[in-house]
Structure 1
Amino acid sequence: MDSLSTSPHRRASFEFDCIDADYVDGAGPRLLDGFRAERTKPFALLRVVTTPARFGHFAGATPAPADWFYLEIEPDASGLPAWHAQLEGNGYSAHARGVLTYARQLDTPDKTRGPRSRPQTLGAAATPRLGLPSSLVSACAPLPKPATRAAISTVLKRVPQAASVLVRDVGQANFVSLCDDRGRAILHFDVGFPISFNRHTFPSNFDINRSETPPIVLSHWDWDHLHGAFHLPHLLECRWIVPNQRLGPGAARLARILAEKGNLLVRPPNARIRFPFGELVRSQGPARDLNNSGLTILATLTSGRSALLTGDADYAHLMHANATKVDHLVATHHGARFNADAASVPMPNNRHGQLVISYGYRNVYRHPHAEALSKHANSGWTTCLTTAGRRGVASRGDRIMN
């Protein structure tokens, strides 16, 4: 969920990672067939724009991360404004506008009590409360047993010390590469492309060397941090180090594809993983909160300068011991508002410190927010670069920190 303003009655953008209910009801024991790489039809994303209070009144509950809902949409009817994007071979790249006509929260099998303990089908829309099929719960929990700290450390120890941090201009998404002194990517931190709702923010001249398949650290399982894997299939051949989080259907499909290739390394719990020029840790937010329970990296470049990569984690949840002062910072959550006060924002080591914000011009979430910019400025970040550029100051493009 992203709030679209600071108004007390602010609207918000609710995005759901979906699977077709009729498919789930009809698939039976063959449900997992739909999670294969060659299958795309059952999966979709749905964006609903309304106030939290109105959604709660409409659906009987306001969505929170990791909640399941049964949703019905129609092209033209009475209800809440909605945008529907069906999964295609290159991801969620196109959408159609419609109306959300019905919504109810689903009871998960482990939370249902009494006569509701038997999971109902998703299609039982006439009942005020619906059960989530246990087969779908199982299908969306594909993450294998966490890898050992040694296994992940072995992958990261093979990465040479980076000379620069390349924040790629991908529009409204996050795609950061640590590069060697020749500009070759040696580690990706997130591989995001915009999903269809922000497709207009993607640059027309994006380029990447497809022969480079370095390890990928995924900060968290949000689409604008992983969607590049659908546009750039060579990324599926990389080793992915990922947080152990609850997944929606589309994200679970990607995890299964990577696991079948032997390229999925799930970070073990409570592991602070150090490698020759940095450390990889988990943010300390609630487990249900994907943004604030994701992975972050603090790296030291060959110049001796430090760079902090936060994904969408609020600064108050960072767990790096030496991140109170850094030389370079990729701003959290594309410049969105965050709860931490200015005192929690890492400070620049000196006046040459660089702050970079990765976002797309005229994105639907209205990032970056003035409040976030002010907090960074109050913490000493006087030099702020954005991948979107600033009219009359700089054109859009990649940003490099070294």
Structure 2
Amino acid sequence: MKQEAIFFFFFPPEFPSRSLYARVSRVDSLSTSPQRRASYKFDCIDADYVDGAGPQLLDGFHADHTKPFALLRVVTTPARFGDFAGATPAPADWFYLEIEPGRSGLPAWHAQLQGNGYSVHSRGVLTYARRLDAPDELTGPRSRPQSLGASVAPRLVLPSPLAGACMALTNPASRAKISTILKSVPQAGTVLVRDVGQANFVSLCDDLGRAVLHFDVGLPISFNRHTRPSKFNIDPNERAPIILSHWDWDHLHGAFEFPHFLDCPWIVPDQRLGPGAARLARMLGEKGNLLVRPANARIRFPFGELVRSGGPVGDLNDSGLTVLAILASGRSALLAGDADYAHLMHSNAHRIDHLVATHHGARFNASQRSVPRPNRRGGTLVISYGYRNVYRHPHREALAKHAKSGRRNYVTTAGRKGIALRGDRAIS
């Protein structure tokens, strides 16, 4: 029996006045202009809750507790944020933030965690921001210099109970355990890139169309809710394993709208987490379904290979998991998540039949030579994105690099004017 989600629109809630401890989960440049604006997304928890809970903070990181968790999106130029906060946010940084309704401050959008995830948001302003000192195991070694403003700003420290609660991935699963799960997966006949809007949800399916393995189970969070299809079907009786490319919400948000995903085994990258992601990790761990891929493990299974991208540890996109699968047709398919092609670690990733484009068609740093080229027999480039998304994906620069690598023709889940309507894309 299919489980159907019907998406509704809601009146936005009132923007709160609140202090937050927040981890930078992603940074997206919105143009190539020298004065370009950027979108900064933070995984947050209410500061009052953290300070009041003390050592018992971890008790709030479970399925029934949603109130203190939130996502915050701030849009401004890097220079203005740096002047405002004494430091420019980079992935994995922690900040102390204060937000309130009004217009005097940096534009901000706040989404409080609901039972079905981050489904609605409201607009206000960021009125105060300072970077927090945090343990190296939560931030990783800094690869960039501190700004002058940061050196004179008051030094604030991430509360130790919160630091401990966010260290949710301290016990990697054995290579053998993950291999056993993947070896039980039958060879897929098709790769189904599902139309979920601005998110990533890919299923490897058997000849009957049943999912045998998911690569990400994303649905759009509230900032891109307008990109969702009106309906989305999934079979709740399927318990296919899930490989999570990385801990970003548009790759895992389906776990909130389809709770049966929590009963599936999740093979996940060992990455540093913000509060909301740590909550989900602990929920999976309590069910025995959190399988953290061991560091530097190259895991092969009968029809594919699972590896970690070779990017910086603190960058969720470029340190995530990627899959190279061989389909029943003998064709190869590369699922790159949001990893830059320059960081792919598959030994034969330079020639691939089918490619699901990295990062929804966003710009990437690699040269066009790093884009996996199609085999002589051809192949398909699929781009999963939502029409009029806030990140402006896909970008012309990325499309041009794919074209120069030999991938001139492509299909998208959002559809293309005069060519195809939006919808799922199946490749075999």
Shorter chain as denominator, the TM-score bin is over 0.9
Q: Which runs of 5+ in 1 are unaligned?
A: 112-126
How far the C-alpha of 1:385 sits from its partner, in A, is 0.3
Matched pairs, number: 387
Whole-Å separation in 1 of the counterparts to 2:250 and 2:222: 10
Partner of 1:93: 119
Mapped to 2, the partners of 1:194 and 1:110 lie a distance apart of: 31
**Which residue, out of 177, 182, 185, partners 1:156?**
182
Matched with 1:104 is 130
Query: Take 2:82 and 2:398, find their aligned partners in 1: how far apart are those partners?
Result: 27
Of residues 163, 170, 193, the one that matches 2:196 is 170
1:109 and 1:131 in contact (8 A); partners too: no
Q: Cα 1:110–1:333, aligned 2, differ >3 Å: closer, same or farther?
A: closer
Match of 1:324 among 346, 350, 375: 350
**Pairing 1:283-294 to 2, within 5 Å after superposition:** 283-294=309-320
Name 2:149's counterpart in structure 1: none
State how far apart, in whole Å, the 2-side matches of 1:154 and 1:60 are: 49
Distance 2:86 2:195 in 1: 40
Contact 1:162 1:180 in 2 (8 A): yes
* Residue identity opposite 1:261 in structure 2: K
- Pick which of 16-25 and 345-354 moved more: 345-354
Aligned to 2:6: none
Instruction: Percent identity, please.
Output: 78
CA distance in 2 between counterparts of 1:351 and 1:194 reads: 35
Give yes or no for contact 1:173–1:224 (8 Å, CA) kept in 2. yes
Structure 1 residue 34 corresponds to structure 2 residue 36: no
How far did 1:41 drift? 0.2
What is the deviation of 1:352? Answer: 3.2
Contact 1:152–1:241 at 8 Å: present in 2 too? yes
Residues 219 and 294 of structure 1 are in contact (CA less than 8 Å); yes or no, is this contact kept in structure 2? yes
State the match for 1:349 in structure 2: 375
- Which amino acid in the other structure matches residue 361 of structure 1? Y
Taking a change above 3 Å as real, the CA distance of residues 9 and 351 of structure 1, as seen in their structure-2 partners, is farther
Shift of 1:166: 0.2
1:245 counterpart = 2:274: no
Q: Distance in 1 between matches of 2:128 and 2:282?
A: 30
1:81-134 CA deviation, whole Å, 9 max, x = no partner?
0000000000000000000000000112569xxxxxxxxxxxxxxx82211111
Cα deviation, 1:224-283, whole Å, max 9, x if unaligned, reads 000110011010000000000000000000000000000000000110000000000000
1:58 aligned counterpart, secondary structure: helix
Amino acid at match of 2:337: G
Name the amino acid aligned to 2:114.
E
**1:202 and 2:232 aligned:** no
- Structure 2 CA distance for aligned equivalents of residues 5 and 11 of structure 1: 7
Name the CA distance, whole Å, in 1 between partners of 2:368 and 2:185.
34
**Do residues 216 (structure 1) and 242 (structure 2) align?**
yes
Which residue of 29, 38, 63 maps to 1:12?
38
Instruction: Give the aligned partner of residue 122 of structure 1.
Output: none
1:165-224 Cα deviation digits (max 9, x unpaired): 000000000000000011000000000000000000010021111111100000000000
Which residue of 97, 105, 111 maps to 1:79? 105
CA drift of 1:351 comes to 5.6
Give the Cα separation in 1 of the matches to 2:179 and 2:424.
29
* Distance in 2 separating the partners of 1:225 and 1:43: 18
The one of 386, 405, 408 equivalent to 1:360 is: 386
CA distance in 1, matches of 2:135, 2:245: 29
Secondary structure (helix, strand or coil) at the match of 2:231 reads: coil
Partner of 1:264: 290
Partners of 1:165 and 1:179 within 8 A in 2: yes
Amino acid at match of 1:150: A
Tell me the CA shift for residue 77 of structure 1: 4.0
Letter in 1 for 2:53: A
- Structure 1 residue aligned with 2:5: none
Structure 1 residues 71, 273: closer, same or farther in 2, change over 3 A?
same
Q: CA deviation at 1:9?
A: 1.0
* C-alpha RMSD of the superposition: 1.1
- Cα deviation for residue 53 of structure 1 reads 1.0
Look up the equivalent residue of 2:182 and give its one-letter code: L
Aligned counterpart, 2:326: 300
Q: Which residues in structure 2 correspond to 1:215-234 (within 5 Å)?
A: 215-234=241-260
Comparing 290-299 and 346-355, the one that deviates more: 346-355
TM-score, normalised by the number of residues in structure 1:
0.95
Aligned to 1:120: none
